[in-house]
């Protein structure tokens, strides 16, 4: 084989080697481009997912706020003023037996059937009455009874109950001139028997 043939053969091999290297370089470049593009797409997808999650969280928060608003509106009466504990206490059923409560400034003593015994806590319940008398007002005491039994005996029992309340006021330092026993026009009170057996103390 001549030197010319060897030279031509070397040129051909060099050209082939160059083509092969070029093809490999192109392949690597394309692969890198696709890899970079995929990473960007993944980042974009992750960002989209994060944004979507934030959007869902915001929507959930708004829905929760709306639900809370509706719940508040449902529990509050017209005008947006919540019900008071005093109102709830007023609506409570009176238990059969001695008890005392204050409703709208009126002190109400309830008694057991046939009894004139005061419930515990009389001094605390009469606190505002004592303050009112000190300010120049008069304590008015009225006794009531239920509709069962003899009317005359019931009226006498209502009077004894009123006297027991007057005794509690006297023990708190209220003079007789600052108290008035006032017999109601109708001594039989409305409501259940437990509610009817009562003495009311008001300020005038």
- Segment 34-47, tens digit of pLDDT: 665 554 444 444 44
In which band, very low, low, confident or very high, does the pLDDT at 13 lie, cut at 50, 70 and 90?
A: confident
* Best CATH choice for the domain 85-203 from the list 3.40.50.620, 3.30.1330.60, 3.30.70.2190, 3.40.50.800: 3.30.1330.60
Q: Tell me the CA distances in angstroms from 179 to 24, 28, 61, 72, 163, one per residue in order.
A: 115, 108, 61, 46, 11
Domain boundaries, the chain: 1-83, 85-203
* Run of H or E residues at 63: helix 3-75
**Strand ordering across the sheet containing 139-143:** 99-103, 106-110, 198-203, 139-143, 179-181
β-pair partners for 140: 180, 202
- Segment 91-142, tens digit of pLDDT: 457 777 899 999 999 999 999 999 999 999 999 999 999 999 999 999 999 9
β-pair partners for 198: 110
β-pair partners for 181: 141
């Amino acid at each position: 084989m001549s030197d010319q043939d060897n030279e031509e053969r070397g040129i051909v091999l060099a050209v082939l080697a160059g083509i092969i290297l070029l093809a490999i370089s192109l392949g690597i470049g394309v692969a890198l481009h696709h890899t970079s593009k995929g990473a960007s797409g993944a980042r974009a997808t992750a960002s989209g997912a994060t944004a979507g999650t934030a959007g869902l969280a915001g929507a959930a928060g708004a829905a929760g706020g709306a639900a809370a608003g509706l719940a508040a509106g449902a529990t509050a009466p017209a005008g947006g003023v919540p019900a008071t504990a005093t109102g709830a206490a007023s609506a409570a059923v009176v238990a059969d037996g001695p008890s005392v409560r204050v409703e709208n400034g009126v002190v109400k003593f309830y008694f057991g059937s046939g009894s004139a015994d005061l419930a515990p806590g009389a001094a605390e319940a009469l606190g505002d009455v004592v303050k009112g008398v000190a300010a120049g007002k008069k304590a008015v005491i009225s006794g009531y009874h239920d509709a069962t039994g003899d009317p005359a005996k019931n009226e006498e029992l209502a009077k004894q109950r009123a006297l027991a309340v007057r005794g509690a006021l006297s023990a708190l330092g209220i003079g007789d001139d600052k108290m008035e026993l006032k017999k109601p026009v109708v001594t039989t009170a409305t409501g259940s028997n437990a509610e009817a057996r009562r003495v009311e103390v008001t300020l005038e």
